[in-house]
A = this chain, B = another copy of it.
Amino acid sequence: MSTKISFRDVHKSFPVKGGMFTALQGVSLDIADEEFVTVVGPSGCGKSTLLGMAAGLVEPTAGDVLVDGSPVTGPGPERGVIFQQYALFPWLTVRRNVEFGLKLTSLSAAECRHRAERAIDLVGLADFADALPKTLSGGMKQRCAIARAYAVDPQVLLMDEPFGALDALTRVQLQEQLLRTWSQERRTVMFITHDVDEAVFLARRVVVMAARPGRIHTIVDVGLPYPRTEEIRLSPEFGRIRNDVWHAVYHQDALTA
C-alpha cells in the first residue's frame, strides 16, 4: 500500500497576545492508501489543526503536508471533511445541504437527488429532508453534516469527532456503516474521536497525541481483523488494546492541557 497522506515534521503556531502559541510541534505521520486511522488525545492537543492541514484549510508554519505525494495547496472534493462544528449552510434545507457538493460534480440532477436521498436515509433524516438546520436537534445537525460528506463519496474522509453528539445506538449503527463503506469502497479515513472504544474499534492504527506542545505521543497498531464485529468488541484482545490506548492518552494529565 502506498502513502496517501503524509505529514513531515509539521509545526503550527498561532499568534496570540504577547507571542506565539505552539499548537503542533514536529508531527510526522504517514497514512497509507485505504488505511483507517483514528486520532485521540486530550482536548486542545491539536487534533483538529492536524486534520485541517490534511484538508488544506490550515497551513503549517513549518514542514510539509503531502497527499498522494504532492504538497497540499488547498481543499478539494476528493478529500471530504466533517467539521467538529457541523458547518451546515443555515439557509439550505437538509436536502439542499446534502446536495451542495453533488451539484458541483458533473452528475445529472436526477443522480444528485438520488445520491442525496440515499445519504439522508443512511443517517436517518428522511423525515427531515426539507427542514432548515435551525429546526434540527444537535445530533440531527451532526447527521446532516455526515450525510453531506458521504454524498460526494470522496476518496479520503477527514472526520472531526463526527459521532460526538450522537446517542450510543445511532453511533454504533453509523460506525458499522462507515466501516462497511470503507471496506467495500476502499477509502482512506482519518477520524478524530474522544471515545477510546470507538478509536480502537474502527482503526487499523490509533494515533495518540499529547498536548503542550501538540505532538504524537504513540501510535498503537490495532492488530484486529476486519470486519469488526460485536464479538471483536467484546474480545479480551480488544480490551487489552483499549487499555493500552487509554494508558497512552492518560498517563498525561488531562486538565492541564
* A residues adjacent to B (C-beta < 8 A): 14, 16-17, 40-44, 47-48, 84-85, 123-124, 130-131, 135-140, 143, 160-161, 164-171, 173, 194-196, 246, 249-250, 252, 254-257
Which chain B residue lies CB-closest to A137? B44
Please measure, in the bound complex, the distance between the C-alpha atom of A166 and the C-alpha atom of B42, giving whole angstroms: 8
Other A-B pairs, 12, CB within 8 Å; known A44-B140, A161-B165, A166-B194: A17-B130, A42-B167, A43-B137, A43-B140, A43-B167, A44-B137, A164-B165, A165-B194, A167-B249, A170-B254, A173-B254, A173-B255
With contacts A48-B138, A124-B256, A131-B16 known, is A41 near B167, CB below 8 A?
yes
Provide the residues of chain B in CB contact with A40, threshold 8 Å. Answer: 167
- Contact in complex: B43, A165 (CB < 8 Å): yes
Which chain B residue lies CB-closest to A47? B137
Which chain B residue lies CB-closest to A44? B137
**Residue from A43, A48, A139 having most chain B Cβ neighbours under 10 A:** A43
Provide the residues of chain B in CB contact with A255, threshold 8 Å. Answer: 123-124, 169-170, 173
**Residue from A164, A166, A168 having most chain B Cβ neighbours under 10 A:** A168
- Contact in complex: B84, A165 (CB < 8 Å): yes
Please measure, in the bound complex, the distance between the C-alpha atom of A250 and the C-alpha atom of B44, giving whole angstroms: 33
A217 → B minimal CB distance (Å): 13
Please measure, in the bound complex, the distance between the C-alpha atom of A137 and the C-alpha atom of B47, giving whole angstroms: 9
Please measure, in the bound complex, the distance between the C-alpha atom of A42 and the C-alpha atom of B168, giving whole angstroms: 8
A57 → B minimal CB distance (Å): 15
Please measure, in the bound complex, the distance between the C-alpha atom of A155 and the C-alpha atom of B150, giving whole angstroms: 44
A13 → B minimal CB distance (Å): 12
- Contact in complex: A166, B124 (CB < 8 Å): no
With contacts A254-B173, A257-B124 known, is A249 near B139, CB below 8 A?
no
A104 → B minimal CB distance (Å): 26
Contacting A14 at CB < 8 Å: which of B16, B41, B135, B161? B135
A239 → B minimal CB distance (Å): 13
With contacts A135-B14, A257-B124 known, is A250 near B43, CB below 8 A?
no
Please measure, in the bound complex, the distance between the C-alpha atom of A170 and the C-alpha atom of B256, giving whole angstroms: 9
| Selected A-B contacts with CB under 8 Å, 9 pairs | A43-B137, A44-B136, A44-B140, A48-B137, A138-B161, A161-B165, A167-B194, A169-B249, A170-B254
Which chain B residue lies CB-closest to A130? B17
